[in-house]
Structure 1
Amino acid sequence: MTERTMQPAGLRASLRGKGAVPRGTYDGSFFRRRTLAIVAAAVVFVALGAVSGTFVGFDSIQAILDVPGGLVWMATQFVPSLPSLDKLGTILPALGSTILASIASSCTAAVLAYICAVLGSRSVGVGGPVPLVVRGVASLFRNIPVVAWAFILLFSFKQSEFTGFFALFLTSFGYLTRCFLESADEMSTGPVEALRATGATYGQIVAHAVIPLSITSVVSWVLYMIETNIRDATLIGILTGTGIGFVFDIYYKSFRYDVAGLVVLAIIVVCIACELVSNYVRRRIL
């Protein structure tokens, strides 16, 4: 005898009266409500886009019509030519300088960020006001865009390699500190508690528990930061007059679009190569 037949007739009637759906019966109200919610969200999204576009004077229809012409212009003007290959002697050293600056800023920031993250961690930190101070500094540095840092530092250090390095370093420090804090707080506290129970010092706990447990995550975040800084360093170079960004700016403003296209192509190749290497290293350590 099934569950439905075992129910008294009066109980089944009361359930139907209350709008309850018997087991095995299709209820389309849930899907209707979900569809209406999705449609309402889409309408709100489109309405917000239309209001914002009208406020700033953006003509979406004209923009769509201009897309084919823009793509044709890019395909004809930014294609590297044979004469542009003669500029590789200028492009490659600047590209190498950008890569080295990105790696140096990321690694330097990673070392300091890891020290601050360990000291400011809620699970393995030193306690007191240190966690609050570390998180506040990390949030401040992370929420200021790298372009803003470049503009601020230009007044102090002028256009130089150090200005670009320092701007990348400050942003990387804030971002990595936040990431390392999350990694330290999420790791298992069992080994840490075991070492504390044996009377190990704070340095021994960090060396034998914190670093081995978090090193995989740390390496992954540093590799990601190097990738990001290589991309950001191009824009920073335009502002600071250094690196591959400065070379691109010179040829672009000189209407040498073929050479500027070669610079863009070189940047794309480097970014893809860096991502492939980073993914390979992550697969090996994870």
Structure 2
Amino acid sequence: MNSSGHNPSVPLQQMSVIKRRLTYMMVLVFITFPFIYLKVNPLEILTAYPSIVSFFGENFFPPDFSGFKNYVPLIIETLLFAVVGTYISAILAFILGLAMSENINPIALVRWLVRTFSSLVRNIPVLVWASLLVYIFGIGSMVGLLALILATLGFLTRSYAETIDDIADTKLEALKANGASPIQVIVNGLMPEFIPSWVNWTLFSFEINIRASAILGMVGAGGIGIMIQTNIRLFKYQEALALIITLVILILLTEFAVTKIRKAIL
């Protein structure tokens, strides 16, 4: 307490209380504003759950696997979409990643162009790519594959470039000083350190692409998703559920296999 009899800690405590109340108000506004703006009543959502559960129970169960053999080609197609889309993207992204890396490419304009292209294709969702390509080329498997390649290319290009930039350039500079060619610098200096990260990023993209391959069918781009959508539109809910269960099992098996592969390689 000072000579005037006032405690200097009191204003600080008051400011702390005001600040805390303002924080609570901001949080409350942040939570409630979306519901008000969208005119959504949370109580209606809660009261709708019993109807949703009842609808699924009456229409989707039990799943109908009787036509499963007819869907095997679509399951294989979905898996191959992810495989082909991932490895084509990985090859192209590695080339673009080198062009985008400051450790490898000294030309700033080229780096900027590649970075801009990577940002463009990465920030357009795969479903948007598929919708655009379906509109341009029509329904077909090639549309789904192109959409996967474009979406994955942007992601992997940035990931590869950042990984390459993070690699210590001492060894690269030593190779350059000894007269090594750019190819020798990449093969002997960069690749040994880059391969573990390359495997991780590529396998991670493959997992994402398995899920995306199924979703692409919803917009007519092929794969198992198109049959899920078709069965739902035809009110064949039990067959749709069988396909959804199959898709979930496929994704889980893919994650398990990818984990085993990653451990075996790394």
TM-score by length of structure 2 reads 0.89
Are 2:104 and 1:124 equivalent residues in the alignment? yes
Aligned to 1:23: none
Q: 2:104 & 2:7 partners in 1: Cα distance? A: 55
Aligned to 1:262: 242
Aligned residue for 2:108, secondary structure, equals coil
Q: 1:182 & 1:109 partners in 2: Cα distance? A: 16
**Largest Rg, 1 or 2:** 1
Q: Which runs of 5+ in 1 are unaligned?
A: 1-12, 21-28
Q: 2:221 & 2:91 partners in 1: Cα distance? A: 28
**1:140-176 Cα deviation digits (max 9, x unpaired):** 0001111111121123211011011001110000111
Aligned residue for 1:85, secondary structure, equals coil
Question: Would the alpha carbon gap of residues 42 and 214 (structure 1) be closer, same or farther in structure 2, given more than 3 Å must change?
Answer: farther
Aligned to 2:220: 240
For the 8 Å contact 2:93–2:157, the answer to whether it is kept is yes
For the 8 Å contact 2:144–2:221, the answer to whether it is kept is no
Query: After the TM superposition, which residues 1-286 of structure 1 pair with which residues of structure 2 at under 5 Å, given as runs?
Result: 37=20, 41=23, 43-81=25-63, 84-286=64-266
For the 8 Å contact 1:105–1:169, the answer to whether it is kept is yes
Q: 1:186 & 1:121 partners in 2: Cα distance? A: 10
Aligned residue for 1:129, secondary structure, equals helix
Q: 1:18 & 1:189 partners in 2: Cα distance? A: 59
For the 8 Å contact 1:137–1:174, the answer to whether it is kept is yes
Aligned residue for 2:65, secondary structure, equals helix
Which letter maps to 1:271? I
Residue identity over aligned pairs, in percent, reads: 25
Q: 1:162 & 1:251 partners in 2: Cα distance? A: 22
**1:21-76 Cα deviation digits (max 9, x unpaired):** xxxxxxxx7xx959x65x75454233123122111111111102222332343244
Question: Would the alpha carbon gap of residues 67 and 117 (structure 1) be closer, same or farther in structure 2, given more than 3 Å must change?
Answer: same
Q: 2:119 & 2:67 partners in 1: Cα distance? A: 42
Aligned residue for 1:159, secondary structure, equals coil
Question: Would the alpha carbon gap of residues 58 and 211 (structure 1) be closer, same or farther in structure 2, given more than 3 Å must change?
Answer: same
Question: Would the alpha carbon gap of residues 195 and 95 (structure 1) be closer, same or farther in structure 2, given more than 3 Å must change?
Answer: same
Provide runs of 4+ in structure 1 moved above 6 Å: 17-20
Deviation (angstroms), 1:102: 1.3
TM-score by length of structure 1 reads 0.83
Question: Would the alpha carbon gap of residues 188 and 248 (structure 1) be closer, same or farther in structure 2, given more than 3 Å must change?
Answer: same
For the 8 Å contact 1:237–1:244, the answer to whether it is kept is yes
Q: What RMSD, in angstroms, separates the aligned Cα atoms of the two structures?
A: 2.6
Q: 1:225 & 1:118 partners in 2: Cα distance? A: 19
Which letter maps to 1:53? F
